[in-house]
Amino acid sequence: MSETNQPSSPLEGIHHVTAITGDPQRNIDFYTGVLGLRLVKLTVNFDDPGSYHFYYGDALGHPGTILTFFAWPGAPRGRQGTGQVAAIAFSIPVSALGYWVERLAGEAIPAEGPTERFGAPGGTQTLAFRDPDGLALELVTHPAALARSGWTAWTDGPVSETEAIRGIHGVTLWETSSDHTAAFLTQTLGFRSLEAEGAVSRYAVGAGGPGAELDLRVTPESGRGIVASGTVHHVAWRTPSDAEQLNWQQELLTRGRHDVTAVLDREYFHSIYFREPGGVLFEIATDPPGFTMDEPFEALGTSLRLPPWLEPRRKEIERHLPTVRLPGGMQSPPAAVR
């Protein structure tokens, strides 16, 4: 960071990851019914209010546990390749690995592993599989998962607290080459280089460990990725306050990142966006205000929420959204507005 405008707080890890689904109902059923995540917010893409935006996470949607989806019904399958987040890893306790091997097999979901990576320090193993849209997912065991702070079990879900996913563990970027991205991560965003294994280099930010890791895979033979169904749209990194976010925005501008956006109000957090040198869309998102600002804990994800500037268009928006069945048997939008 520059000495003249150094944020007092480094990035704290992953805030959320946003991907794309072509089948809204199948997406809800998989992430709540199979993986046991809670649907903590049902809203729309604020930049495209004719499409849903689903937020999944722990019981409260704590930063670091959140996976979100833009729902584009009938969207073509994307292409996994360079310039993308190619895989999303979730943290699970070491003791839960056998449970998840059996659970995925029972759901007829093909999985690879468990496999060891980077020498499997402290019992780290990876189970790789794909969601119904083809999005690459991983379950990663880690001794620190059981003691992970900022995580609350969803007790009404299908997976017990003992085996439950503890949040996002990390992401894997695919790049044509590593030099510029690696320099950007370490010299601008404050990541630390940890270790390398073949074509993959591992980095960490903040305190490191679950929720703060990034793997960088050099794979020029893969070709350029195409963002559509089954691919990641962007990854967001955590900052604790609006003031720190503004410092990051100014720092990026000072360092020549003129693509950084203005601060955008996402209702549950505030965001700035920019692309790292390899083309992956990054976001820096604030921890507050959080998902209970417009509905109580017990009602999270049970009705369509719109920001104040879209509320006057509610009836129009609801008419264009496909009906989906929510966990607990509810329906959205309500049948009365169809």
pLDDT at residue 8 greater than cutoff 90? no
Which pLDDT does position 3 carry in this prediction? Answer: 39
pLDDT in tens, 195-217: 999 999 999 999 899 999 999 99
Q: Mean of the per-residue pLDDT values for the chain?
A: 93
- Across residues 223-236, what is the average pLDDT? 97
pLDDT at residue 335 greater than cutoff 70? no
- Across residues 76-84, what is the average pLDDT? 97
| Chain center to CA of 201 | 20
Asked if 38 and 157 count as a contact pair (C-beta separation under 8 A), the reply is: yes
pLDDT at residue 112 greater than cutoff 80? yes
- Domains along the chain with CATH numbers: 14-286 (3.10.180.10)
Which pLDDT does position 292 carry in this prediction? Answer: 96
Which pLDDT does position 124 carry in this prediction? Answer: 85
pLDDT at residue 192 greater than cutoff 90? yes
The pTM of the full predicted model, rounded to 2 decimals, is 0.94
Which of these, 110, 146, 151, lies nearest to 128 by C-alpha position?
110
Which pLDDT does position 118 carry in this prediction? Answer: 79
How confident is residue 121, by pLDDT bands cut at 50, 70 and 90?
A: low
Taking phi over 0 as left and psi of -120 to 50 as alpha, with beta for the rest, 275 belongs to beta
Which pLDDT does position 4 carry in this prediction? Answer: 40
How confident is residue 2, by pLDDT bands cut at 50, 70 and 90?
A: very low
Provide φ and ψ at 164, rounded to 5°: -60, 150
Which tokens go with 215? 């793997």
Which of these, 185, 170, 190, lies nearest to 277 by C-alpha position?
185
Asked if the peptide bond before residue 333 counts as cis, ω within 30 degrees of 0, the response is: yes
Q: Give the N- to C-terminal CA distance of the chain in Å, as an integer.
A: 52
How confident is residue 243, by pLDDT bands cut at 50, 70 and 90?
A: very high
pLDDT in tens, 265-283: 999 999 999 999 999 999 9
- Across residues 2-25, what is the average pLDDT? 81
| C-alpha span between 36 and 13 (Å, rounded) | 23
Window from 37-51, 79-93, 143-157, 295-309 with minimum mean pLDDT? 143-157
Which tokens go with 170? 């990390």
